[in-house]
Amino acid sequence: MLCEIEFLAVGEGSKAGDAIIVRYGDVNNYKIMVVDGGTAETGQTLVAHLKRHFGPAVVLEHVVLTHSDMDHASGLREVLREIPVANVWMHIPWLLAKEAKQYFRKKDWTDDALSKIIKDQYDVVAELAELAFQKSKVYYPFEGAQMDHLRFFHRTGLRTCA
């Protein structure tokens, strides 16, 4: 299996973010993965880059959001709006409110109330999740999860599986 990795600096100064494009497979049969998407201002730049280098009908096999900081998540909204994506890997913390309730100081939250409070704190990720659920299969990037020849370990790090 061949693998190319391209690291894109997206944004500048305090608004700098990153995006990683991984092309893997064989020369005539490859898949593309995007890891993180930079800022809202650079999402369109990432889309243009993908279309310029992989064709106007580019399709992404995987999109991975490593964490919900805006300089990683915001640009992915534009990617999901404009490019077909088969699989999205992201944490959606409000869907785990019931399991996480024990870690909050206030113990009398209802599951729904805690879920709403968490979701309100992650408005960009909530928009991204809504787009992902409409257009793609959505997975949690927890340790041990596997995509193609890659397996998640220690949060959202990836390693090759033989």
In a domain, 81, yes or no: yes
pLDDT digit string, tens, across residues 107-132: 888 999 999 999 999 999 999 999 99
Instruction: Give the pLDDT of residue 31.
Output: 94
pTM score, whole prediction: 0.86
Q: Name which of 25-29, 32-36, 133-137 the model is least confident about.
A: 25-29
What's the total number of domains in the chain?
1
Q: What is the CATH number of the domain that holds 143?
A: 3.60.15.10
- Give the integer Cα–Cα distance in Å for 57 and 51: 7
Print the domain residue range for 141: 2-93+124-160
